[in-house]
Amino acid sequence: MGIRLFVLAAAALAWLSSGAVAGEVVYKCDDKTELTATFRADPNAVDLVFKGSNARQSLPQVLSADGGRYAAGDTEFWIKGRQATLSRGQNKTVCETKR
């Protein structure tokens, strides 16, 4: 039993360290922005793709006391539960996962 658990744990660690996608979530924001957030486990980052655009913006995870916070330059994507706050420059909007 112990060997099998070790093998499963090693396989999971190898998968996570391979740059695997940890999850993909679609958000709709108060300002009508729609985006898909693809969370990566290695490195800890999120790729944002905005509806109507094929451009991908990658944000590394940064220190946060609460929730998951990703930021680069003047863009920040801060998730807490089903909600997220998207800030781009001086513009800020609240987003929620689509069901």
Instruction: Give percent of the chain above pLDDT 70.
Output: 78
**Exposure on the CB side of residue 15, measured as CA atoms within 13 A:** 8
With tokens 């999850």, the residue in question is: 23
pTM score, whole prediction: 0.75
Q: pLDDT value at position 17?
A: 41
| pLDDT digits 0-9 by tens, 33-67 | 999 999 999 889 999 999 999 889 999 999 998 88
Interatomic CA distance for residues 93 and 91, integer angstroms = 7
Q: Specify the CATH architecture of the domain 21-97.
A: Beta Barrel (2.40)
* CA quadruple 89, 93, 94, 99: dihedral sign: negative
Q: pLDDT value at position 20?
A: 57
The residues that bridge with 74 in the sheet, in sequence order, are none
pLDDT(12) > 90: no
What are the residue boundaries of the structural domains of the chain, listed by start?
Answer: 21-97
Q: pLDDT value at position 16?
A: 39
Interatomic CA distance for residues 50 and 34, integer angstroms = 6
